[in-house]
Structure 1
Amino acid sequence: MSATDPIAHSAFSDPRSGTEHFIAVSPPPGGTFEEQVSHLDETYKAAANALGLGPETAIFRRLFLSDIMNQAPFLSDTELACGLPDNPVAVSIVQQPPLRGAKISMLAYHIESPTPMTKTRLSEKHIVMAKNGLRHLWSTRLCTGSDHGSRSVGSQTHQVFDDLIGALRRQGGTLRDNCMRTWIYLKDVDVFYQGMVDGRSELFVRNGMNGDTHYIASTGIEGACAHRHDLVGMDAYSVFGLAPKQVSHLNDFDHLCPTEDYNVTFERGTRIAYAERSQYFISGTASIDRYGQVVHPGDVMRQLERALDNIDALLLSGGARLEDMKYLIVYLRDPSDYTRVKTYLDTHYPNLPMFIVKGAICRPEWLVEAEGVAVARGARPDLPMF
């Protein structure tokens, strides 16, 4: 999505199981927030119509906001944020200011399916999509809703995960067996990251996860929900009905060390294999080497190149390449780096839906981090289809 393009689109299609669509939308800078939301909504609906995507194909949306405390109340009753009563959509809303100048940007995920697909709202924060014998749980805007500042970041981390664990349990699942991906947002990552890491590690042990089992692909990044005293927010994606051999975790120890080497507990990436495709959920990835050290301190462009090389190595370990990415989210600590980073990405990945947002990374020395989803062709007839 160039500086003048309001929309970008990528897709993966198979006639037997359907098409996954990834759509990036951003209004032009200028005007009020309400005007930008209206422009985004009109552009999005026009693009979906041009692609032949009915409202029933919408599964997930993430709205990146510049000032969530003031902007979330306006969004609260809109179709963008709520979906429709008979057409639920999982909607994430996070303060991570878009750096192309708009007050709002949006990532939308749609599925066209030749086989029956249903969507059910389990609660305000949890939506299940059922397709081909699998249930996909999208959990968004998980937070404590705190109206006072007395709870620690560790206790808030436990409460947010307990909400997810409860939803998984009610569907007959567990955090260890069914959760594939989390996005964790911290109000001040420089201050509160370690408390979240400690709380998450304790919770993982309690739920049967350690270095001998596996963790969960994740991004832990600066961001905020709409509640003044919430320090932690989270989105998550879980799947019910997968066979154990369908899920594997990605790493390349020539490029990156195990996360446990620097006392954090997450997977660098997760692959879900189906008969005709594989999906790759790439965690937040920075300029790190196989010893766990920051590479190219102080140089955002070389850090960006190393982060993308690391993503390519992770994908290659699972049989894909960077060219299979369907969207990319790039987090910048310093907004003044935006123009150089955007020029580089436009030059090297001109057709990839992309978001560049303000979000400090867990180590101050890391100036940039990237994440996203890839989908690549598969040939595993022994596995079920997506």
Structure 2
Amino acid sequence: MIRKVCSDGVGYSVVDLTDVRHVFAAAVPRVSGDLVTQTWDALRTIESVMKEESTLGSIVHQVVFLADDSKLAECREVMREFYGPEFPATTYVPQKPCHGALVSIEALGVGRKKGDVTIERKSEQLVIASHNGVSWIHCAHVTPDPEVDGVYHQALNAFSKMRGILGSVGVDFAQVIRTWLYLGGIVEGEGDKQRYKELNRARADFYQNIRFLTNYLPVEKGAVYPASTGIGVDGHHLIMSCIAMKTDRRDIVAMPLENPRQTPAFGYGCQYGPKSPKFSRAMALSCGSYATIFISGTASITNSETRHIGDVEKQTEETLDNIAALVSEENLARHNLPRLGTTLDQLALVRVYIKNPEDYAKVKAICDRRLGEVPTIYAIADVCRPELLVEIEGVAFSHLSCDSGHC
């Protein structure tokens, strides 16, 4: 179902779902030099992949990881020159690539295999890709207004701006399936509070009256929240992005997944903050015989407690164990999606956030062994607890398995 290619400077996955081709690519520069030189090289590498896979001009969403945030404007100008009118929704993340380059790029291309794909490029922040009666709305690089102070108020402001951007194309915030919340100084204090806890307080308050994805749930659910990653970045920035889904199809199912090895994040006790993190461990979207699973940022936590403090290798193994359990057949069946479970080798795209640069080789060796060839971004970032050394997120795909000769 997934074809993966990893070579010098680029890894990519090709996923053909019914009559539409999805290409996930992660590129690092193959040359030295300044930011402009490295960015052009990474972009040309991705361009050659998209051309080879017949998806040229189809990039709808990209994330650019920058070693030096002061170069953001320079990088953005390169992007504008390269893409012209085909600009994807782009988020610029101030996280240093682990391999020492000045930039790395993750991109999603959606192109025709046989069916029609329509791409509406509304702005550098908003792109809509529609096919098979479903629209995927990519909203990128939402930041709070500069005059707003304090993480709590900044987060409320950014969430409100995101809601406005989605609303401009007739999409309600309740249709959001996946968010990314990038927060500088994530485990630092802010007065007598912690910045990440203030972010969670704002998210809980903003989500309070939102009933997510009610039209797509196959069964009555209690708390339903999008999948999410909350991760540190350099400086004290707050940057958000999201994916939303809009469709009138009746056969689309959205199911938030929880992990049997972990307490739901929204069920954490008060020792982890005045308001718990409101996100699901993953969001599974099924259509017919296929499922796409958006895996939230996952760390070395079982129940609600951090495991293997001080040991990055054991934390990486535990994190991958958590992801394997999350996407397993047993867990999907538990969530009313029988025969749509999958395994680690069906991940199409992975991001690995590592707290300490010196741990990169150890973490990469474990990921290479357990994940095999998969497009992967490795970036330096603080995780949401001071003792956590690694966090991993990704996208997995599954195809309905057969039993007793029937599918």
C-alpha distance after superposition, 1:54-104 (max 9, x if no partner)? 21x2121111110122x212122224687332x341112111111011111
Q: Deviations over 1:281-313 (max 9, x none)?
A: 0000000112x0001111000000000110111
Q: Give, in angstroms, the shift of residue 248 of structure 1.
A: 0.3
- Name the amino acid aligned to 1:104: V
Matching residue of 2:244: 238
TM-superposed CA distance for 1:202, in Å, is 0.5
Give the drift of 1:175.
1.9
* 1:118 to 1:109, Cα distance in 2 relative to 1, 3 A: same
> CA distance change for structure 1 residues 23 and 205 in 2, over 3 Å: closer, same or farther?
same
SS at match of 2:77: coil
Q: Give the one of 370, 379, 391 matched to 1:348.
A: 370
User: 5 Å matches for 1:1-386?
Assistant: 5-14=8-17, 16-28=18-30, 30-55=32-57, 57-69=58-70, 71-79=71-79, 83-85=83-85, 87-113=86-112, 114-146=114-146, 148=147, 151-176=149-174, 178-191=175-188, 192-208=195-211, 212-223=222-233, 231-241=237-247, 243=250, 246-253=253-260, 255-262=261-268, 263-290=276-303, 292-316=304-328, 317-318=331-332, 319-378=341-400
Secondary structure, counterpart of 1:246 in structure 2? strand
Contact between 1:168 and 1:175, CA under 8 Å: does it hold in 2?
yes
Shift of 1:356: 1.2
| Aligned counterparts of 2:238 and 2:22: Cα–Cα separation in 1 | 30
- Consecutive unaligned residues of structure 2, counting only runs of 5 or more, are 189-194, 213-220, 269-275, 333-340, 403-407
Distance between the aligned counterparts of 1:213 and 1:81, measured in 2? 44
Cα gap change, 1:101 to 1:9, in 2 (>3 Å): same
Confirm or deny: 8 A CA contact 1:273 1:378 kept in the other structure. Answer: no
Root-mean-square deviation (Å): 2.5
Secondary structure of the residue aligned to 2:54 is coil
Q: What's the counterpart of residue 338 of structure 2?
A: none
Whole-Å Cα distance in 2 between the matches of residues 349 and 213 of structure 1?
31
4+ long deviations beyond 4 Å:
1-4, 242-245
Q: SS state of the match for residue 78, structure 1?
A: helix
For residues 66 and 345 of structure 2, the distance between their equivalents in structure 1, rounded to whole angstroms, comes to 28
- Offset of 1:246 from its aligned partner? 0.6
Q: Quick one: structure 1 residues 132 and 379, their matched pair in 2 at CA, closer, same or farther if it must change by over 3 Å?
A: farther
Q: What letter is aligned with 1:73?
A: A
Change (3 A) 1:244 1:49: closer
Report the Cα offset of residue 244 of structure 1. 8.1
Q: How far did residue 20 of structure 1 move?
A: 1.2
Distance across 1 between alignment mates of 2:75 and 2:225: 34
Q: Distance in 2 between matches of 1:2 and 1:65?
A: 24
Q: Residue 124 of structure 1: CA displacement?
A: 4.0
In the alignment, the residues of structure 2 paired with residue 379 and residue 88 of structure 1 have an alpha-carbon distance, to the nearest angstrom, of: 38
Structure 1 gap segments, 5+ residues each: 381-386
Identity rate of aligned residues, in percent?
Answer: 25
Q: Is the 8 A contact 2:29 2:42 kept in 1?
A: yes
**Distance in 1 of aligned mates of 2:26 and 2:132:** 27
Normalised to the residue count of structure 1, the TM-score between the two structures is 0.88
> Cα deviations across residues 229-259 of structure 1 (Å, max 9, x unaligned)?
x631101000001548610011232x11111
Kept in 2: contact 1:3–1:100 (CA 8 A):
no
The number of aligned residues is: 367
In structure 2, the partner of 1:384 is none
Q: Are the structure 2 counterparts of residues 134 and 97 from structure 1 closer, same or farther at C-alpha, using a change threshold of 3 Å?
A: same
Change (3 A) 1:97 1:134: same
Partner secondary structure for residue 190 of structure 1: coil
What is the identity, as a one-letter code, of the residue corresponding to 1:13?
Answer: D
Separation in 2 of the partners of 1:351 and 1:80? 31
Contact 1:286 1:303 in 2 (8 A): yes
TM-score (norm 2): 0.84
Kept in 2, the 8 Å contact 1:153–1:231? The answer is: no
